[in-house]
Amino acid sequence: MRLYDSAPSGNCYKVRLLLTQLGIAFERQEVDTRQRDGRDDVLGGKNPALRVPVLELDDGRHLAESNAILWYLAEDTQYVSDDPYERAKTLQWMFFEQYDHEPNVAVVRHRTMLGHLDDYPDSEQRRERGYAALTAMERQLDGHDYFVGDRYSIADVALYAYTHVAHEGGFDLDGYPAISGWLDRVAHQPGHITIDD
**For residues 47 and 42, what is the distance between their CA atoms, to the nearest angstrom?**
10
C-beta separation of 108 from 127 below 8 A: yes
Decide: is 66 part of the binding site for ligand GSH (CB under 6 A). Answer: yes
**For residues 149 and 87, what is the distance between their CA atoms, to the nearest angstrom?**
10
Cis peptide before 84 (omega within 30 of 0): no
C-beta separation of 79 from 154 below 8 A: yes
**For residues 15 and 73, what is the distance between their CA atoms, to the nearest angstrom?**
9
- Judged by beta carbon, residue 63 or residue 137, the one nearer ligand GSH is 63
| Site track 15-34 with ligand GSH (rule: CB under 6 A), x = hit | ------------------x-
- Judged by beta carbon, residue 50 or residue 178, the one nearer ligand GSH is 50
Decide: is 112 part of the binding site for ligand GSH (CB under 6 A). Answer: no
- Judged by beta carbon, residue 69 or residue 183, the one nearer ligand GSH is 69
Decide: is 51 part of the binding site for ligand GSH (CB under 6 A). Answer: yes
Provide the 10 A C-beta neighbour count for residue 128: 10
Instruction: Give the nearest distance from C-beta 32 to ligand GSH in angstroms.
Output: 9
Region binding ligand GSH by CB under 6 A among candidate stretches 60-68, 80-88, 118-126, 137-145: 60-68
Region binding ligand GSH by CB under 6 A among candidate stretches 64-72, 114-122, 142-150, 168-176: 64-72
**Which residue from 11, 21, 112, 123 is in contact with ligand GSH, where contact means CB under 6 A?**
11
Decide: is 6 part of the binding site for ligand GSH (CB under 6 A). Answer: yes
Angle at 87 between CA 71 and CA 69, to 5 degrees: 5
Region binding ligand GSH by CB under 6 A among candidate stretches 50-58, 88-96, 139-147, 174-182: 50-58
Q: Kindly determine how many residues on this chain lie close enough to bind ligand GSH according to the rule CB under 6 A.
A: 12
Question: Length of the chain in residues, anyone?
Answer: 197
Nearest-CA neighbor of 178 among 134, 146, 147, 142? 142
Q: What share of the chain is helix, strand, coil (3-state, %, to 5)?
A: 55, 10, 40
What is the contact surface with ligand GSH in residues (CB under 6 A)?
Answer: 6, 9, 11, 33, 36, 51-53, 65-67, 98
